[in-house]
Structure 1
Amino acid sequence: MQKAENCILLIQSMYPSFHRVEKKIADYILENSEEVVTLSISELAKNLEVAESSIVRFCKILHLGGFGELKLNLACRPKEKPVLPFGNVKKDDSTAEILDKVLGASIQVLSETRDFINHKKFGEAVECIRNANKIIFCGMYTSSTIVHDAYMRLYRIGYPVFCFTDPYEAKIAASMLDENCVVLGVSHTGRTKETIETLRLAKENGAKVIALTSFVRSPILDVADISLVICSSASEGVMEAVSSRISHIAVMDALCTCLGISRYEQTTKRIEKNSEIINKMRFE
């Protein structure tokens, strides 16, 4: 049985799509999670100066049965945050402090993604790609390097995979797909217009659509048959965005590893051949 989602991570992921009152409730919960566990819904509403019905609606957005389930979820989470050098880089930080903060941000988002990502949907994505006659990876701009790396990994072990990072080429490729094909689109924000349009076109032609993004409430998920959402901070600063992409790389790495293992004998032989070629290109 799949464990209940960590509502703190869910709030962080959904935060950019909240309206004013929802953000007010979210901010209070994120900053005072231990206190919220001790409050009644009327006490919380009074502290926030919002209606109790607003809190009930907020709980429903998180797919919780009510305020009581929210408190139970919060109470089950670790009381202490992980001791990680995570925070905004300041202009007077030393190089060692900056290194610690950047690495800490990556460690934290990877750890949270491991808890947050839906394992069942991940398994469905693996099966969908494994059984496809044609696989297309699509990622624009900063996501382009992520999909290209995954493309090379699967291409080298014999999967019928293609990679498109140019919007025009991606749409042309999507228009030629059918129900035996799958397209996987990667977008940190989930709002990249060209990627969403490519996925929509692929779906209209019958292809299965997989989306990898950082936020639960994002337009790309409206198009996807299978949604892979990592955990991302509500902030979209440079460090947070880069850390999120590291999680994207890790998820794609896990996908490729699963697909390689599923054809173990074939993969092993191809890796041996690839190694022979690569070794000839290296200095001894």
Structure 2
Amino acid sequence: MEGQITERIKKNYARMGSSSQKVADLIMKNTATISSMTLAQLAKKSGVSLATVSRFAKDMGYQNFSQFKWALNSQVETPLAIDNEISDRDTLKTVSQKVLNANIETLTETFDLLHEEDLYAARELIVNAKNLSFFGLGGSNIVAFDAYHRFLRVPLYVSYNSEYHMALMQASKLTKGDCAIVISHSGSNKDTINIAEILKKKDVPIIVITSTPKSALTAYGKICFFSISKSLQYRQKAFLSMTSQLAITECLYMLTAQYFGKKADETFDSLQDIINTRHK
């Protein structure tokens, strides 16, 4: 991956403007350091504007800077240190520590890929939606259901179906005044793409959550959030990805609850009263 990005930069270097060349020079000198920078930090370090860095990422074939940075992170990513691999000799507490460390690392790197403008735009789509609909298949179904469960606690109409054909019908009834959150670790699941295609035909704005920035699914997203995932022995990337996907949906929920303020509190209290009454 590193060679591919570097070669792409070299191939296009002569056609770049002087400002873009400053960004390119900095990236080629120290890719590992650049991969951990924010958009603002890279712009400042290069001596260019934020718009120049964003344009550079798009010129390199990425949808936005978040996607470009994810690719940089991937190319310099090293496997978890050997000390973090699960061993037959590890104690129960040591295994637990290694699992938690992997989750902490996943969440930290996912946070680094979040941008204020994307979070704001996503919240605007959510709070103005007539119907906020969640979609996820396979392991992502768990994340979609958890998000649906959370968002029932804010003053929005939300919908979710775990069965694929029901989800297709759900997607077909949405309109451009609604919002869909589509979750997929790979971003290439054929059935998930079918759902996204239906949503696109209905002009429904889509928020995509995936671990694969160059996947087919990202082309459908009005806004894309990327969940970092690394493999750990006995635990595939998709499982660690689920941790960061759950965190992203919780961030979106909290931003929405913050927006509605007292109305969100009233909705939560009303639901809690109903639940408490049923348990008496």
Residue 85 of structure 2 aligns to a residue whose secondary structure is coil
2:29 to 71, 90, 93: 71
TM-aligned CA distance change 1:137 to 1:85, over 3 Å: farther
Question: 1:115 offset after TM fit, Å?
Answer: 0.9
Question: 1:181 offset after TM fit, Å?
Answer: 1.2
Q: Distance in 2 between matches of 1:192 and 1:216?
A: 14
Paired residues for 1:41-190 under 5 Å: 53=7, 56=10, 65-72=23-30, 74-75=32-33, 87-190=84-187
Residue 174 of structure 2 aligns to a residue whose secondary structure is coil
Is 1:246–2:222 an aligned residue pair? no
TM-aligned CA distance change 1:281 to 1:175, over 3 Å: closer
TM-aligned CA distance change 1:146 to 1:110, over 3 Å: same
Deviations 1:188-230, CA, capped at 9 Å, x for gaps: 1111221121011011011111110112211110111111112
TM-aligned CA distance change 1:101 to 1:240, over 3 Å: farther
TM-aligned CA distance change 1:89 to 1:104, over 3 Å: same
Question: 1:69 offset after TM fit, Å?
Answer: 2.6
Report the identity percentage: 23
Q: How many residues align?
A: 232
**Paired AA for residue 69 in structure 1:** I
**Paired AA for residue 24 in structure 2:** G
Residue 207 of structure 2 aligns to a residue whose secondary structure is strand
Q: Is the 8 A contact 2:86 2:98 kept in 1?
A: yes
Q: Distance in 2 between matches of 1:236 and 1:56?
A: 37
Q: Is the 8 A contact 2:207 2:223 kept in 1?
A: yes
**Paired AA for residue 70 in structure 1:** M
**Paired AA for residue 274 in structure 2:** I
Q: Distance in 1 between matches of 2:202 and 2:180?
A: 11
Q: Distance in 2 between matches of 1:250 and 1:91?
A: 31
RMSD, aligned CA: 3.4
TM-aligned CA distance change 1:86 to 1:255, over 3 Å: farther
Q: In structure 2, what is the equivalent of residue 192 of structure 1?
A: 189
TM-score by length of 1: 0.71
Most deviating of 102-111 and 156-165? 156-165
Structure 2: give runs of 5+ residues left out of the alignment: 14-19, 38-77
Q: Is the 8 A contact 1:106 1:244 kept in 2?
A: no
TM-aligned CA distance change 1:244 to 1:103, over 3 Å: same
TM-score by length of 2: 0.72
Structure 1: give runs of 5+ residues left out of the alignment: 1-21, 30-51
Q: Distance in 2 between matches of 1:56 and 1:87?
A: 36
Is 1:217–2:171 an aligned residue pair? no
TM-aligned CA distance change 1:71 to 1:278, over 3 Å: farther
Most deviating of 234-243 and 140-149? 234-243
